[in-house]
Structure formats: C-alpha cells, structure tokens
Structure 1
Amino acid sequence: MKSVVIGAALALAVAVPATAQTAPVEAAPAAPAAAAPAAAGKFTLDTPIETIVADPAGKAVIDADLPGTTTHPMYDSFKGMSLNQVAPMSNGLITPEVLTKVATDLAAIK
C-alpha cells in the first residue's frame, strides 16, 4: 500500500516539471554550489533521483525507504528531480520524517 501511495504522489509531480522551469538556462553559476553538498556526502536530498539510483547502494536506499519509486510508470518523468523537489508535490505523502530517514541512509553511503 505504501508503494501505491508514494507512486501516486510521484505521479502528481509529473505535471509540474513541464511548467516549473521559468528561469532562463543559466545553470553554470550553480555548478560550484552543487559541488559543496557532494563534499558532505555522496548523495543528498538535492541529488537527482536518477543519480542516486544509478549507484547500487543509492538504489537500495530508495527501494527500501520509498518502495515503488524506481518501478513507477512515470519514473522517467520525475527521475531528474531531487527528493526535495518531489516531496512538496506529494500532498504530504512524502513526509519530513521519510525525508529524514532517506537523508540518514544516503549519508551512510561511502
């Protein structure tokens, strides 16, 4: 049941990404800022989901803490988003407690 709920929450995130990008493509200055969280740990809640899942240990965390995420039919639509981006669109289904658990488990990956 939990995977169905999370799957439904992630499906809600699909409609927003197409309209969410309103800023021009000036991502070059943001690249150094993205490097800082990597120093704190291999993955964070701001790491794109597809990057986390590409690592076997990261995929294990996602599968354990958010079951059904990688097998969701709309995975291709939200995999480029981070968990911090998907959570607000989940209508409260991805709770702060869930995010804390995922963050803790991701931080344990060396």
Structure 2
Amino acid sequence: MKTMLTAGLAGLSLSLAGLAAPALAQDAHAGHAAAALSAENTPIADIAASPEGKAALDKNLPGLTTHEAYDQFKGMSLKQVQPMSQGAISDDAIKALQADLDKIKK
C-alpha cells in the first residue's frame, strides 16, 4: 500500500502547482478543532495535528504524512487530493479513515 501511495502521489507536486490558493484558503479554517474530523472535508494537516488523527492517517494511508510533497497538499482535504493520487487514495480508504476518525473522542 505504501508503494502504491508513493507511486500514486509521485506527480502530485506538479499537479498542485496551480492549487496553492485553495490550499491557503483551507489553512484559514485550521483553528476550528471543535468540529468533528472529516476524511472528506477536513484539511489533512488538521487530521494529522492530533496523535489519534495522525495514527488513523498512517494506518489507512501509509506514507501520506511523510510524502515528499506533503507540505504542498496538507492544507487540502483528501477528497481534493484524491483525483491527483492516480488511484492511491480510494473511496474505500477514505471510508476506513472516517470510521477510525469517528472513534476519536473530542
């Protein structure tokens, strides 16, 4: 899975070049930790900010938080990054991550 994720995200840094503005816009919402974490809508960095969220990311999408382009896409949600992942971020992985996020106590 890690190899697939790394390979799938290999071209991500090039794809993200034109998406800097939306990523920055997402960062403006980073302080809203009271809301439940969403695998589809929460910026990846916000999920990774808590030990439990990072563990869920690492379990369901190994290599995502250590990817060389992480700083470029961490302000985006997984649904935003998914089309650029060449299939490495599947709907099933997002659903499994959400199930783990739902178990995190606020």
TM-score (structure 2 length as normaliser): 0.76
In the TM superposition, 1:89-100 aligns within 5 A as 89-100=84-95
* Greater percentage in helix: 1
Counterpart in the other structure of 2:47: 52
- Compare CA radii of gyration and give the structure with the larger one: 1
Query: Aligned to 1:103, which of 95, 98, 101?
Result: 98
The one-letter code matched in structure 1 to 2:6 is G
How large is the Cα RMSD of the aligned pairs?
2.5
In the TM superposition, 1:73-84 aligns within 5 A as 73-84=68-79
Shift of 1:70: 1.4
TM-score (structure 1 length as normaliser): 0.74
Counterpart in the other structure of 2:9: 10
Shift of 1:100: 0.7
Counterpart in the other structure of 2:56: 61
The one-letter code matched in structure 2 to 1:85 is Q
Identical-pair percentage: 43
The number of equivalent residue pairs is 98
1:53-103, Cα deviation, whole Å (9 max, x unpaired)? 110000000011111111112211111111111111112221111111011
In 2, Cα distance between equivalents of 1:101 and 1:94: 11
The one-letter code matched in structure 2 to 1:54 is A
